[in-house]
Amino acid sequence: MPKRRLLLLSLCCLALITGLSFWLALSVGGIHLGPSQLLAALIGPASTEQTLLYQLRLPRAVSAFAVGGLLALAGTLLQTLLRNPLADPYVLGISGGAAVGALGALLLGLGTAWSSGSSFAGAMLSMMMLFALAHGRGSWTTTRLLLTGVIIAAGWGAIIKIMLAISDNNEMRSIVFWLMGDLSQASHPWLTLATLIAGLLLCLPLARSLTILSHGEMQAQALGVAVPRLRWATYFLTSILTAVAVTEAGSIGFVGLVVPHLVRLAIGNDLRLLLPCSVLLGGSLLLLADTVARTALAPQQLPVGVITAVIGVPLFLYLLRRSSSS
């Protein structure tokens, strides 16, 4: 069937883009590695370049790709669940909740496991508040949803500022960088990648049901979708994906907004195609953004969240304008 051919074709294109992004990310930096040097460092005998590659560039590249994929997947799920193309974990304050959770655990001196757990709790709490407040008894309008999300995000922002104000100043700079979205402190590349793969595999069997959910909850129920169960599964997954991304790299905005939108423009809204393609494109996009962030003003490193905001803000405004005019 043509749809499966389209999926295969898109995945091939995106795999190529992913490969190129990795190649670029591993090549450029303080020491530039040409194709032959890169190959030698990857599979050749031990060398300084090899250490550089396996200790620094590859883990960071894997982190960037995995975080981008997680955010794109979370954004796709959130947009589908809210039936709104402007939904994004960052804009709606889900990342903010996760950041407060992770930062709280950090300031209390608790370990990584605690900070992931409390980050998940923060994301889930944000999600519950968003759905309870924005849904209410009234209608499901874009204005109401976005306002609720922005206010929740502002609330988390205020809590973060209080935490920063009362913490001691030694780590201030690194915490502020992390809050802006920064991959230089990313420490669990493979765990993050494993979460991404597991998350995608869990979403795929739900993909057709999720596509149908975009026609409305009642319609989906009438077509045999167990909507309450699907909704809870998606809340839960989106919260975990966002929490893991935030714990690894802080609050990086707009990847979850931009990526599903671009993929939808190219191949339509069938979630069976949209989910895997968003993961690959989100991963590549963040990997490229991070490569720019660490090389543009080298040796000074920019937080990657700044780069994604530069791409994301204009697109968000464009989408908002288009949705209000139609």
Q: Half-sphere exposure of residue 239, counting CA atoms within 13 Å on the CB side?
A: 24
Q: How far apart are CA 6 and CA 282, in angstroms?
A: 19
Q: Which of 4, 32, 161, 321 binds another protein (CB under 8 A)?
A: 4
Q: 84 or 118, CB closer to another protein? A: 84
- Would you give the binding string for another protein spanning residues 208-237, x where CB under 8 A is met? xx-xx-xxx-xx-xxxxxxx----------
Q: 83 or 144, CB closer to another protein? A: 83
Candidates 37-45, 158-166, 267-275, 305-313; binding stretch for another protein (CB under 8 A): 267-275
Q: 192 or 238, CB closer to another protein? A: 238
Q: Rounded to an integer, what is the distance from CA 142 to the centroid of its chain?
A: 21
Q: How far apart are CA 262 and CA 312, in angstroms?
A: 12
Q: Rule CB under 8 A: is residue 322 a binding residue for another protein? A: no
3-class secondary structure, 292: helix
Q: Rule CB under 8 A: is residue 269 a binding residue for another protein? A: yes
Candidates 58-66, 123-131, 204-212, 305-313; binding stretch for another protein (CB under 8 A): 204-212
Q: Say which amino acid occupies 105.
A: A
Cβ-based neighbour number of residue 322 at 10 Å: 10
Q: Rounded to an integer, what is the distance from CA 2 to the centroid of its chain?
A: 30
Q: Rule CB under 8 A: is residue 1 a binding residue for another protein? A: yes
Q: Tell me if 273 sits within 8 A of 3, measured CB to CB.
A: yes
CB of 76 to another protein, least distance (A): 11
Q: 148 or 209, CB closer to another protein? A: 209
Site for another protein in 286-305 (CB under 8 A): none
Q: How far apart are CA 193 and CA 213, in angstroms?
A: 28
Which residue has tokens 């795999």?
Answer: 15
Residues counted in the chain: 326
Q: How far apart are CA 50 and CA 43, in angstroms?
A: 9
Site for another protein in 51-80 (CB under 8 A): 79-80
Residues that bind another protein (CB under 8 A): 1, 3-4, 79-80, 83-85, 204-206, 208-209, 211-212, 214-216, 218-219, 221-227, 264, 268-270, 272
